Amino acid sequence: MKMKLITLNFYLLVLCISVYANSASIDFEKAVAPNLDKQKAFLSAPVADFSVNDSTLSLGGSAYFTDHSSNSPTSWTWTFQGGTPSSSSEQNPQNIIYYTSGSYDVSLIVTNADGADTLIKTQYINVSDFQSAWIKQNTGFTSAWGIKQISIVDSSVVWAKAYDRIYQTNYISDFTRTTNGGNTWIPGIITFTGSSSFGCSNIIGISDSTAFSCFFPLSGTGGKIVKTIDGGNTWTETSASFTNSWANFVYFFNANDGIAMGDPYSLEFVILTTSDGGDTWTQVSGADIPNAQTGEYGTLNDYDVVGNTIWFPTNSGNVYKSTDKGLHWVKTPNGFLSTARLIFKNDNIGFAVNSETPNNLKKTNDGGASWIDFVPTGEFSIYPHLDFVPGTSSTWINVSSNLTTKSSYSTDDGYSFISIDQGVSYTTVKFHDIHTGWAGGITTSATDGGIYKWNQLFITVNNETAFKENNNITLYPIPAKNIINILLKTVEDDDMTITFYNITGQVVVSKQVKAISNDIVQIDCSGIDAGLYFISINNGNKTITKKVTIIK
């Protein structure tokens, strides 16, 4: 709800004009002009207006406010009920943090030489006590693009490819990139000589400045592998050739060793490898690739990699596999009669999801040599976007672009899935480790969404079973200022890791200590900024996470 507080002088002006117009003895210029000046000032007085990047926050979330006031105000006085800080004189206050759940008012007073105006938006900021699984970030796209594919280099550097979610045969070449963990994303468009005749299949980031992208022809045969070394500002063609083929994807195992795959020409798939960072490409001998069936082909950006092993599916229900970065290949059926999305945990365990109804799931325990039917329990989406979380023993994340189905996670290698949320369209998902993952979304505007960063604390904070050991550890004082005491009742292992995370999941402090039962461990937090944090305590096979507030 909005409340406007405005002082009006218009009726006084009208009254003055009426009286003076009927009195010949009154000097009109002297009597009326001052009131005209007042009316002019009123018309030039500022009118307050503002917006926020996200009015619905999770506990500890940040709000970024933008002033939209008219008539050129010269000063701004903000009041943030429940926020930290609680006030600001900046035109566009940033990073206002809300540590307590509830609904809060925001007010803005704007002034200039001609007057002032106040706008109060009641219950404008709504803060939930529930820790969100995802942190919404802004891709920077100005069009309503979706994210088709994500390439994570490390916790800071990520490249992502876009698609036109309205006209999906409009093969755009837009991408976005972050070099600071998603705090800011910079969009761009891949262009090169003749690029309008091609569509973008996928993008692979090597560093913050270097990436490769695969392009397929919009008609006929062929394809291109292009490279950037300046963060996506310019792109150049490599020597990779797909004559009489049709390019499907490119992938790099490291900065030097890469592979690209195209549809069969003659009997075998066209598979190219490079060992010098894409400067030169060599086609793999047909003797090292099983023959394709008549009419067999691959699909765009459809493959998976673990270490030096790479798999890709075909429309004929086969899986091609290489364990030496693409130099030698074997072929096995996946049990389906069509393309299946492949997702592997390691060299042995993986899943295949049928691309056609009823989107059955199959599992392999021998690297794809054989497949068995697999039916998870719980909230598992049909034809999902599924990814294993590297570095964990058995955690998988399952997201869905369907607003009516639930996204979920599994900590038992896919046997059961626990609901995360519903009503958000996640277009793809990719994890680098337990701390680093992103899910694609739909861009609303350049400053509103389009991609989601994983909040690693979600599973430990919101899964009740994770708290069954919480009584074994006591933290005091809360809130803390300079020292936090951790009282340990029972210790399974004398090696203990204590990690502080901020609300965005970034590691602030990590410390390894030697601990014994009934011990007190002290952590110096004098160098940590005030705010809401999570302390993760790992001891043996157990990890316990607790919330703590630091004050100054």
Are 123 and 156 part of one and the same domain? no
**Residue whose C-alpha is closest to residue 130's, from 410, 532, 444, 458:** 458
Quick check: 241 pLDDT over 70? yes
Are 117 and 164 part of one and the same domain? no
Any long-range contacts for 284-292 (C-beta under 8 Å, 24+ apart)?
284/326, 284/327, 284/329, 288/327, 288/328, 288/329, 289/320, 289/329, 290/320, 290/329, 290/330, 290/331, 291/267, 292/264, 292/267, 292/268, 292/316
- DSSP H or E run through 197: none
Average pLDDT over the chain, rounded to an integer? 85
Convert the pLDDT of each residue in 505-531 to its tens digit: 678 888 888 877 777 788 888 888 877
Detail the DSSP E strand segments found in 64-139.
65-67, 75-80, 83-84, 87-88, 96-98, 102-112, 115-128, 134-138
Q: Which residue would you say has higher pLDDT here, 197 or 334?
A: 197
Instruction: Out of 75-89, 283-297, 317-331, 369-383, pick the least confident.
Output: 369-383
Are 140 and 166 part of one and the same domain? yes
How sure is the predictor about 7, in pLDDT bands with cuts at 50, 70 and 90? Answer: very low
Are 491 and 435 part of one and the same domain? no
Instruction: State the total domains in the chain.
Output: 3
Amino acid present at 53: N
Are 346 and 228 part of one and the same domain? yes
CATH of the domain at 144: 2.130.10.10
Instruction: Decide if 77 contacts 94 (C-beta within 8 A).
Output: no
Are 470 and 429 part of one and the same domain? no
Main-chain dihedrals φ then ψ at residue 472, nearest 5 degrees = -80, -10
Strand pairing category for 96-98 and 61-63: antiparallel
CATH of the domain at 525: 2.60.40.3080
Quick check: 36 pLDDT over 90? no
Strand pairing category for 450-454 and 473-476: unpaired
How sure is the predictor about 119, in pLDDT bands with cuts at 50, 70 and 90? Answer: very high
CA distances from 186 to 191, 439, 447 (A): 16, 17, 12
> Which of 130, 161, 180 marks a domain boundary?
130
Rounded Cα distance between 140 and 170, Å, is 20
Look at residue 540 in the predicted model and tell me its pLDDT.
63
Helices (H) and strands (E) in the chain, counts: 3, 47
Q: What percent of the chain has pLDDT over 90?
A: 54
Look at residue 98 in the predicted model and tell me its pLDDT.
85
Are 471 and 443 part of one and the same domain? no
> Which of 431, 462, 493 marks a domain boundary?
462
Q: Which residue would you say has higher pLDDT here, 109 or 340?
A: 109
**Residue whose C-alpha is closest to residue 472's, from 487, 494, 493, 457:** 487
Convert the pLDDT of each residue in 362-377 to its tens digit: 999 999 999 999 999 9
Tell me the two tokens of residue 195: 């690029």
Are 167 and 106 part of one and the same domain? no
Tell me the two tokens of residue 35: 């009131």
Rounded Cα distance between 61 and 330, Å, is 50
Convert the pLDDT of each residue in 384-406 to its tens digit: 799 999 988 888 999 988 777 77
Number of Cα atoms under 13 Å in the Cβ half of residue 43: 8
> Which of 462, 479, 502 marks a domain boundary?
462
Are 458 and 468 part of one and the same domain? no
* DSSP for 350-398, written as a single string: EEEEESSTT--EEEESSTTSS-EE---EES--SS-EEEE-TTSSS-EEE
How sure is the predictor about 128, in pLDDT bands with cuts at 50, 70 and 90? Answer: low
Amino acid present at 317: G
Cβ contacts of 460 within 8 Å, gap of 6 or more: 466, 536, 543, 544, 545
Range of the domain at 545: 464-550
- The residue written with tokens 């992208």 in the block is 213
How sure is the predictor about 468, in pLDDT bands with cuts at 50, 70 and 90? Answer: very low
Q: What percent of the chain has pLDDT over 70?
A: 84
For 210, other C-beta atoms within 10 Å of its C-beta total 20
Torsion (CA) 23, 29, 33, 35 in degrees, nearest 10? -20
CATH of the domain at 27: 2.60.40.10
Are 29 and 145 part of one and the same domain? no
- The residue written with tokens 């480790």 in the block is 433
Are 118 and 218 part of one and the same domain? no
Instruction: Decide if 116 contacts 45 (C-beta within 8 A).
Output: yes
Are 114 and 209 part of one and the same domain? no
**Residue whose C-alpha is closest to residue 71's, from 34, 28, 116, 26:** 116
